[in-house]
Amino acid sequence: MNRTPTIHLPPVPGAVIAAMDTADDPCDVVEDAMPALVIGDLDQPDQSAMSAHIAACNSCREVQQDWERELSSPAPPDEAALPEAAAALGLRRGHYGFMDSPVGDLLLVVTDFGICDVSYLINHDREDRFGELEGRGILATERAASVAGVKDELVEYFGGQRNAFSVPVDLYGVTPFTRGVLEATSDVPFGNLRTYRSVAAAIGNPRASRAVGNALGRNPIPVIVPCHRVVRSDGSMGWYTGGVAIKRTLLTIEGVTFM
């Protein structure tokens, strides 16, 4: 099934109903929103409106059956329907895989533009992370081969054989302030430290050290965007998204020792 949606509906409450009310042909709206219905990404009023239409429309009922067969197919979902579903929902497509590391299992997510998520599964539920990714506008499907390059560089880093990453970073879906903080943090070299205050100064807002700390706490790409190299002004480590023990481990890899 090769469909090119003509109307792009974001997964927001009431989007289907509003579009159906103004469309010349409600079938166009229903067919375009069908992937969202099938994967359960519509609110209840939109689901009800679509179900009522489908019950009275043989053509749309066939489209629904096509999508249900496609999405339940044993073919890898990233090669089948989900790319179309991502496009129909206005989401960026991503692929994910997993790796073991000295700091526990990691979830890695990449898009066509770069690495967009590194999650410590020791303290993050993977389903919650996928929900947060969708909140950033990214729909990910499993494809281990897509994260192989990132995994190789992380293995080298954890093994003390790499002090800089060459993989591109995709900060899609983060706020402009957070983007500025993460870009400034990316400039902190291997084995060096900066304070939250100095990062705030680097983005032109020296009084925003607390906001910088909050933004780094939401860093979606730890290790590669090295928020572990940012510490408090008194020289103490400060908080870290993966926990203080992981922050200490990463700094030890880089030759930085805290008492």
Task: State residue 168's pLDDT score.
Answer: 97
Share of the chain above pLDDT 90, in %: 51
Contact 216, 227 (CB under 8 A): yes
Q: How many CB atoms lie within 10 A of CB 57?
A: 16
Phi, psi of 162 (to 5 degrees): -145, 135
Residue 87 has pLDDT above 70, yes or no: no
> Which member of 27, 60, 116, 227 is catalytic?
227
Residue of 65, 44, 203, 115 whose CA lies nearest to 213: 203
Average pLDDT on 13-21 reads 76
The answer to which of 6-15, 54-63, 190-199 has the lowest mean pLDDT is: 6-15
Answer with the residue of higher pLDDT: 7 or 252. 252
Dist. CA 14–CA 85, nearest whole Å: 18
Residue 12 has pLDDT above 60, yes or no: no
pTM for the whole structure: 0.67
Average pLDDT on 176-187 reads 95
Q: Which domains does the chain have, with CATH numbers?
A: 15-87 (no CATH), 96-158 (no CATH), 176-253 (1.10.10.10)
Q: Active-site residue 227, yes or no?
A: yes
Contact 54, 64 (CB under 8 A): yes
User: Tokens in use for 250?
Assistant: 């990463």
The answer to which of 18-22, 151-155, 233-237, 245-249 has the lowest mean pLDDT is: 18-22
Phi, psi of 11 (to 5 degrees): -75, 65
Residue 31 has pLDDT above 90, yes or no: no
Question: For every residue of the chain, which 3-state class applies, written as one string?
Answer: CCCCCCCCCCCCCCHHHHHHHHCCCHHHHHHHHHHHHHCCCCCHHHHHHHHHHHHHCHHHHHHHHHHHHHHCCCCCHHHCCHHHHHHHCCCEEEEEEEECCCCCCEEEEEECCEEEEEEECCCCCHHHHHHHHHHCCEEEEECHHHHHHHHHHHHHHHCCCCCCCCCCECCCCCCHHHHHHHHHHHCCCCCCCEEHHHHHHHCCCCCCHHHHHHHHHCCCCCCCCCHHHEECCCCCCCCCCCCHHHHHHHHHHCCCCCC
Task: State residue 159's pLDDT score.
Answer: 96
Contacts of 70 by beta carbon, 8 Å cutoff, 6+ apart: 1, 80, 81
Rama region for 146: left / alpha / beta (φ>0; ψ in -120 to 50; rest): alpha
Task: State residue 60's pLDDT score.
Answer: 85
Q: How many CB atoms lie within 10 A of CB 255?
A: 10
Dist. CA 39–CA 24, nearest whole Å: 26
Dist. CA 69–CA 58, nearest whole Å: 17
pLDDT in tens, 218-235: 999 999 999 999 999 988
Q: Which residue has the tokens 């960026």?
A: 92
User: Tokens in use for 72?
Assistant: 């339940």
Contacts of 16 by beta carbon, 8 Å cutoff, 6+ apart: 9, 29, 30, 33, 42, 46, 49, 50
